[in-house]
Amino acid sequence: MRSISLILAIFLIIASGYAQVNEKSERQFYKQGDWEFGFSANIGGSSKKTKETNTYSYNDGSQSSTYTYDYNEKGIYIHLGVSTGYYIIDGLSIEPELNLNLSWGGFSVSMLGNLCYTFYLPQKNIYPYLKLGYGLSNDAENSNGLFESLNLKTINAGAGLKFMYFPGMAFKMEINYRNLYGSNTYSYSDQHSSTSNNYKITTSIIAISVGISILL
């Protein structure tokens, strides 16, 4: 997944550079210096894999024991998102994004930094775009609060269309993919023994997103 992300990032940079040469002054929206505010809602499916490794050690010097368990869960994934983008050159924006997520485990949050390129089609009110981002999320099953334990590394990728229905305002649709990965280790010990529990979590999400985009 990291190699795919690198290829997409290189493609976005090359595409934006090529567009600067060919678009000249024709582009009216999503230009250098523009600010874009986005609001979106996603719904899709998620697949969560958890690998649990438990190690039991005894203080009397006897051999320790290790047990490994694998869990797979599938479910519905929903999130609400808000983003702010700034166009550093025509079509290419840096976009911080905050999401409130809902899954089978409860609520969680994602804090992302995206690189987004919006393509220009002459004489059209349709703007295709590609998005690639990275950030942090937490596990919906954590008990430390929404903004605590942001320990899941998150890759965010999307492709979609913006339909300009009013100058400076667009309806957008997107196919979004996310990969979340992280691990936690919990330890406990007393005068007789010690226990170590390690959890490795990988979650893949594919969702459809709809929302609005406002240019300032």
pLDDT reported for residue 189: 77
Beta bridge partners of 213: 38, 170
Average pLDDT over residues 32-45: 96
In the chain, what are the domain boundaries?
A: 2-20+37-215
User: What is the rounded distance in angstroms from the CA atom of residue 156 to the CA atom of residue 177?
Assistant: 6
Average pLDDT over residues 68-74: 89
Phi first, then psi: give them for residue 178, nearest 5 degrees.
-135, 145
pLDDT above 70 covers a percentage of the chain that reads 84
**Confidence band, pLDDT 50/70/90 cuts, at residue 46:** very high
Q: What is the pTM of this model?
A: 0.79
Q: Where are the alpha helices (DSSP H) in the chain?
A: 2-23
Beta bridge partners of 37: 84, 214
Q: Is it the case that residue 171 has pLDDT exceeding 90?
A: yes
Q: Are strands 92-103 and 169-189 parallel, antiparallel or unpaired?
A: unpaired
pLDDT above 90 covers a percentage of the chain that reads 50
Beta bridge partners of 198: 53, 185
| Residue, of 153 and 188, whose pLDDT is higher | 153
Interval 136-168: pLDDT, tens: 998 877 655 555 678 899 999 999 999 998 888
pLDDT reported for residue 23: 47
Q: How far is CA 68 from CA 152, 196, 199, in A?
A: 21, 12, 10
Interval 9-22: pLDDT, tens: 555 555 555 554 44
Rg (CA), the chain: 22
CATH code that applies to domain 2-20+37-215: 2.40.160.20
| Residue, of 169 and 184, whose pLDDT is higher | 169
The token pair that represents 79 in the structure block: 């999130």
pLDDT reported for residue 157: 97
Q: Is it the case that residue 177 has pLDDT exceeding 90?
A: yes
